[in-house]
Chains A and B, each alone.
Chain A
Amino acid sequence: MTNTTQGAPLAPEISPPQKKDRGFLGRAGVVGVVLVVAIVVALLQSGSGLVVWQSVVTGVLTGGLYGLIAMGLTLIFGVLDIVNFAHGALLAVAMFISFGMISATGMHPYLTLVVAIPALFLIGAAVHRGLLSGTGGKSLENQLLITLGLSLLLENGLLMFFGAEPKTIALPGDFQFPLLGAVVAGSRLYAFLGAILLGALLFWLLRRTRLGTAIRAVAANGPGAELVGINVRRIHTLTFAIGTACAGAAAALAGPLVTVTPTLGEQFNITAFVVVVLGGMGNVVGALVGGLLIGLVEQLTTIYLGGQSSLLGVFVVFILVLFLRPQGLFGRKTA
């Protein structure tokens, strides 16, 4: 936490708006143009409007989920400067909590939100207090190895307790409806709406509450925040817990969409990191928008390359962003 003033991950939200907005609109315009071109090329490539439209719909809906997962990650990174490799594994833990409750009590999958979110909040707080709070100011490798080790521990713990047998969560009364020819599954739409809602809630929490102000203050200038009486250690723990709770929420929302396995987090971890970089590290809204973009990129890559690894497109975007705009779409240029 030495250089946070320079990195200033959450700082753009505090900086005066008038200067930033023009640049932001310009960037949004560029992204928009690139997207339109990408979609037109996809149209030419596939020759079917329906295929491209379905890809766009699926991309946006899946992207919402990526956004929600990445929001937690970016918050932790922005405030604590921790690259949390255990995020995906924590998501898997939440998924199993959700699955366990459903199979034990037969409750509705979305009702498990009220358990998964607090449970992951507490786990997050415990993980930070127990494992990570001592690493502030020490070398990066410490945190890295701890979170990586934790993810291995969690995955293998789940494997031991639940077995590797893939499990499914069925959404009672799931339905499909056509959207201008494309098919939308109810469960996917709910996950998307839930992600948007929780994203808005998180944004509100950061911008409009005392806690949010304190979190942003700590992110912008830790020692300064300490000087004005903010308990930085407590804010760090809370932030880590909130970030982990995002994974809990994402898990409960995504349950009906995926096959539940102990290694499930791996699927999302890499994508979430790319989303974080694309959205601007530490920027919560950026993570959500970045999630939508990555969802789209993934689906359009499928059209361009006939389905060869969609991660290829994602990594091309990752590298381009690192070259052209390492601070991300929404981040402010750093000195």
Chain B
Amino acid sequence: MAARKLIAALGACALLATGCGGSAPMGAGGAAAGRDEGPVKIGALHPVSGSNAVDGQQMRRGAQMAVDAINAAGGIASLGGRKVELVTGDTQGKADIGQSEAQRLISAGAVGIVGTYQSAVSTNVAVVAERNRVPFVADVTASDQVYAHGYKYAFRVQPGSEVIATAAAQYLRQVSQQAGKPVKKVAFLHEQSDFGSGAAEAFTEAARQLGIEVGPDISYDAASVSDLTAQVTQVKASGADVLAVAGYYRDSLLAAKAIASVKPDLNAVWGVSNGAYDQPKFVADAGDLGALYFSTNYHYDATNPQTVALREQYQRTYGDPMRTGAVLSYDAVQVIAQAVEQAASTDPEKVRDAIAAARVQPLTVGNGPIQFAPNGDNRNALAVLMQIQNGQVKQVYPPEKAESRPEYQVTWRP
């Protein structure tokens, strides 16, 4: 009796959980509502509640700052100075909710959507955008899958999983050779969704081409993992000389704790699209545990005075350092707003064509202006290598973006 009762309870819970997130009715009937009068609406979809709410809030604020800057500069000139308004949605980090929220923002008259931080959510949002013929400009979305479907309305500002992972493998080879300890074998520890597995696959492919062996490949469930000691012990037993980690914040911190206690025989810990190892917060939380960790990732451009000014303004307003995710959201809003300006129209299809032809100066690190390839990817997106040195995250490679020299040696090895 008791067991049956519990099953019924769990079942009811599951039903309830999915029931809440049921998608809104589809159909583009009211899609054009209100686009022709009032402010030009740009949709921002981020996880502002749930376990990734910190990043979600950062990114929503970044998007809002872009909108404020555009309005302060007189709005959209080609539309007679019409103001821009950010309409926001909360994905809660869930793909189905992201989907219904995207539909809602489009129905509310958004000319384009920026978002969403999680690849799984972006996958669903891209489908909604495609169906409604409204451009979706991803700020943070690592997985390359979305951009392999041949969608016409999906764009992306950040360098994709493959770009970052390939750069990570190349930087690793170059930095380890410079240090006189060329890398031979890399163990890869990653969370198991699109984001972590995608990074691991792309890295493995790139590393093999460079003659670096990758293995073991160890994955874990980021939502439920509470300890990674056994996984790191596997790394230790494998004899790898570098450990690459692709995870979100909480689990990457767990990995750092496990690495500190197991002390595997490594030359370096190498973050690949890692959500922790280039965050000031990680430096504070991990203390000595994270010293000299490397991270290959997208990054705000510390050498651009505009970026510096923006980050100072953010810090003043919100009392918190502005993260790269928020700078990417700022860039993504700029892309849409400049496209509206160019198109002199709020017709999403015309805005889409303007985005496809756009050249926008980014505040994040890039090889040049944001410019989209036919698949929607930013051609000039660039990943940089960072390292935690003396309690600060420094850009260390490639040399033209470096603030400091890479130190290829882990702390626990004298």
Residue of A nearest to B52 (CB): A164
Mask, B220-253, CB within 8 Å of A = 1, is: 1101111101110110110000000000011001
Q: How many A-B pairs fall under 8 Å by CB?
A: 146
Which of A9, A81, A306 lies in contact with B216, CB distance below 8 A? Answer: A306
**A273 on the B face (CB < 8 A):** yes
Query: Are B233 and A182 in contact, CB atoms less than 8 angstroms apart?
Result: yes
- A176 contacts B52, C-beta separation under 8 Å: no
Contact check, A334 vs B250: say whether CB atoms are below 8 A apart.
Answer: no
Bound CA span A328–B227, Å:
26
Residues of A in contact (CB 8 Å), total: 65
* Partner pick for A54 among B4, B49, B54, B229, CB 8 A cutoff: B229
> Are A183's CB and B229's CB within 8 A?
yes
* B174 contacts across to A, CB distance below 8 A: none
Whether A306 pairs with B253 at a CB distance below 8 angstroms is no
**Docked-complex contact A54 and B230, CB < 8 angstroms:** yes
Which of B8-16, B202-210, B366-374 forms contacts with chain A? B8-16
Q: Which residues of B contact A145 (CB under 8 A)?
A: 16
Complex Cα gap A270–B285 (Å): 27
| B234 engages A46 (CB within 8 Å) | yes
| Contact between B49 and A273, CB atoms less than 8 A apart | no
Q: Determine whether B6 belongs to the interface, using a CB cutoff of 8 Å to chain A.
A: yes
In the assembled complex, A193 has its CB within 8 A of some CB on chain B: no
Across the interface, which residues of A come within 8 angstroms of B263, CB to CB? Answer: 183
B8→A302 contact, CB < 8 A: no
Nearest opposing residue in chain B for A328, CB measure: B3
Which of A7, A261, A309 is close to B224, meaning CB atoms less than 8 Å apart? A309
Q: Which residues of A contact B127 (CB under 8 A)?
A: none
Map CB proximity to A onto B181-200 as digits: 1 under 8 Å, 0 otherwise: 00000000000100000000
CB contact list, B14-41 vs A, under 8 A:
16
- B237 & A50 in contact (Cβ 8 Å cutoff): yes
B131 contacts the other chain (CB 8 A): no
Chain B positions within 8 Å of A183 at CB level: 229, 233, 261-263
Binary B-proximity of A154-186 (CB < 8 A = 1, otherwise 0): 001001000111101010000010000011010
Count of interface residues, chain B, beta-carbon cutoff 8 Å: 51
Q: Residues 36-62 of chain B: 1 if any A CB is under 8 Å from the residue's CB, otherwise 0?
A: 000000000000011111101100000
Is A144 touching B12 in the complex (CB atoms < 8 A)? Answer: yes
CB-based contact B254/A48 at 8 Å: no
A326 at the interface (CB under 8 A from B): yes
With A83-B9, A259-B254 known as contacts, the answer to whether A307 contacts B231 (CB < 8 A) is yes
Partner of A281, one of B3, B230, B234, B257: B3
B218 in the interface (beta carbon within 8 A): yes
Asked if A309 contacts B221 (CB within 8 A), the reply is: yes
Q: CB-CB < 8 A to A164: which residues of B? A: 49-54, 56-57
- Given A50-B233, A54-B229, A302-B231, the answer on whether A281 and B219 have CB atoms closer than 8 Å is no
B13 touches A282 (CB 8 A): no
Is B250 within 8 A of A322, CB to CB?
A: no
Within 8 Å of chain A (Cβ to Cβ): is B309? no
B149 contacts the other chain (CB 8 A): no
Chain A residues whose CB sits within 8 angstroms of the CB of B220 once the complex forms: 302, 307, 309-310
User: What would 7 A/B residue contacts be, using CB atoms closer than 8 Å?
Assistant: A77-B2, A159-B49, A164-B50, A188-B227, A257-B227, A259-B249, A310-B225
A interface residues with partner B (beta carbon < 8 Å): 3, 6-7, 9, 46, 48, 50-51, 54-55, 58-59, 62, 77, 81, 83, 85, 140-141, 144-145, 148, 156, 159, 163-166, 168, 170, 176, 182-183, 185, 188, 257-259, 261, 263, 266-268, 270-271, 273, 276-277, 281-282, 299, 302-303, 306-311, 322, 326-328, 331, 334
16 new A-B pairs (CB below 8 Å) besides A185-B257, A281-B3?
Answer: A3-B1, A50-B236, A54-B229, A59-B230, A83-B5, A144-B9, A159-B53, A164-B56, A170-B287, A183-B262, A185-B229, A267-B223, A303-B230, A303-B234, A310-B220, A326-B3
Question: What are the 6 tightest A-B residue pairs by CB atom distance, in nearest-first order?
Answer: A164-B53, A326-B3, A54-B233, A55-B230, A83-B9, A48-B237
- Please give the residue numbers on chain B whose beta carbons come within 8 Å of chain A beta carbons, in ascending order: 1-10, 12-13, 16, 49-54, 56-57, 192, 216-221, 223-227, 229-231, 233-234, 236-237, 249-250, 253-254, 257, 261-263, 281, 285, 287
